[in-house]
């Protein structure tokens, strides 16, 4: 895929390009996410009080909570900042794309999994409570990441790279890609489960007590989740101003967001089960993110040829050194 790459000017190199500036903005993003986690949890507790009471009765690791939440917020900032720094001009576009992807990944995709596999041990209203909390965090993540790292619409004459999602792909082509992504997701899900999750006796014992859904239910749910993951990937790719390889790496990174929540102690899932899921999800989701981005960014037949014959842009800009590398 050919990319329009712009070359940096000495003026832009001096603006916000230092490592200290990047670290400072990342710290502000982490602080904002940490605050949003607290606000979201408080709001959810007020709106669904029965959940907080039920969880408090089972809570055994509360002393480690604040430090774990802060660490999770920092990891999320490190995952989201590179994507925001490479967003196409227009901060609202970046905010909606990043916030929307975050929302699909955490309150939607993770809670579908919880509803299917953990329903017997979840207090009434738990999924609603998490949905409220994570929606607050998703909105904060999108707005803050775009504000701190994104480019204003008038800041650049044009994007530095061509759009990653090819508008020339037919409806049939998109359907075929969606099917391929769902199949790959199911395969990676099963492989990670067989070679990582189910090899842990503690995890097996935990789910044996709860009871596992039927194989048909598992396949159906994971096919649906594969389609939602594809939607999250498309949201990210729609705002990224990067080459294909960089975009794939960034999508893979953002797809590992769920592991940050596995670092936070909770009264539902024991630490040994969370640690095994951490390895399982981190490895499979990153690989799945790479595959999803690579499939979605494939050019339609004839697109590359047409672009190679198009005249090169008269003026090129350099990459903004304020981006995270």
Q: Look up residue 283 and give its two tokens.
A: 């490895």
CA-nearest of 126, 31, 110, 23 to 76 is 31
For tokens 């596995």, the residue is 262
CA-nearest of 145, 16, 13 to 78 is 145
- Please tell me the predicted confidence (pLDDT) of residue 159: 78
- Please tell me the predicted confidence (pLDDT) of residue 325: 41
- Please tell me the predicted confidence (pLDDT) of residue 34: 97
Instruction: Give CA–CA dist 29/140, Å, rounded.
Output: 9
Q: How many C-beta atoms surround the C-beta of residue 77 within 10 A?
A: 25
Q: How many C-beta atoms surround the C-beta of residue 318 within 10 A?
A: 14
CA-nearest of 95, 214, 76, 91 to 143 is 95
Instruction: Give CA–CA dist 234/238, Å, rounded.
Output: 6
SS3 255: coil
- The reported pTM is 0.85
CA-nearest of 240, 284, 297, 290 to 258 is 284
Q: Look up residue 169 and give its two tokens.
A: 């792909």
Contact 182, 223 (CB under 8 A): yes
Q: How many C-beta atoms surround the C-beta of residue 16 within 10 A?
A: 15
- Please tell me the predicted confidence (pLDDT) of residue 306: 44
CA-nearest of 260, 190, 263, 275 to 226 is 190
Instruction: Give CA–CA dist 223/186, Å, rounded.
Output: 7
- Backbone angles phi and psi of 23, in degrees to 5: -65, -40
- Please tell me the predicted confidence (pLDDT) of residue 155: 56
Nearest 10 degrees: CA dihedral of 142, 290, 193, 138?
A: 0
Instruction: Give CA–CA dist 54/57, Å, rounded.
Output: 5
Instruction: Give CA–CA dist 100/94, Å, rounded.
Output: 10
Instruction: Give CA–CA dist 288/79, Å, rounded.
Output: 16
Point out the residues of the chain with pLDDT beneath 50: 1-16, 61-64, 305-306, 308-325
Sign (positive or negative) of CA dihedral 194, 196, 199, 205: negative
């Amino acid at each position: 895929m050919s990319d329009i790459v712009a070359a940096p000017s000495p003026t832009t190199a001096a603006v916000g390009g230092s490592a200290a500036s990047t670290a400072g903005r990342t710290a502000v993003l982490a602080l904002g996410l940490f605050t949003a986690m607290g606000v979201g949890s408080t709001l959810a507790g007020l709106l669904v009080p029965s959940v907080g009471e039920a969880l408090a009765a089972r809570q055994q690791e509360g002393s480690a909570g604040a430090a774990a939440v802060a660490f999770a917020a920092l990891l999320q900032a490190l995952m989201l900042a590179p994507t925001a720094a490479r967003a196409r001009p227009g901060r609202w576009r970046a905010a909606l794309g990043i916030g929307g992807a975050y929302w699909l990944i955490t309150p939607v995709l993770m809670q579908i999994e919880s509803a299917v596999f953990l329903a017997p041990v979840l207090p009434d209203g738990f999924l609603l409570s998490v949905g409220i909390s994570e929606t607050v965090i998703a909105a904060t993540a999108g707005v803050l990441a775009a504000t701190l790292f994104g480019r204003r619409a008038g800041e650049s004459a044009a994007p530095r790279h061509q759009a990653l999602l090819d508008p020339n792909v037919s409806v049939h082509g998109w359907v075929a890609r969606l099917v391929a992504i769902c199949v790959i997701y199911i395969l990676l899900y099963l492989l990670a489960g067989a070679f990582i999750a189910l090899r842990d006796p503690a995890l097996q014992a935990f789910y044996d007590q709860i009871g596992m859904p039927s194989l048909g239910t598992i396949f159906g749910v994971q096919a649906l989740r594969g389609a939602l993951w594809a939607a999250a990937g498309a949201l990210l790719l729609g705002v990224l101003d990067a080459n294909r390889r960089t975009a794939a790496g960034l999508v893979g990174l953002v797809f590992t967001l769920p592991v940050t929540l596995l670092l936070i102690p909770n009264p539902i899932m024991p630490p040994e089960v969370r640690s095994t899921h951490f390895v399982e999800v981190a490895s499979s989701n990153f690989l799945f993110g790479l595959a999803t981005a690579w499939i979605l960014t494939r050019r339609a037949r004839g697109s590359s040829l047409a672009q190679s014959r198009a005249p090169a842009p008269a003026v090129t800009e350099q990459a903004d050194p304020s981006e995270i590398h």
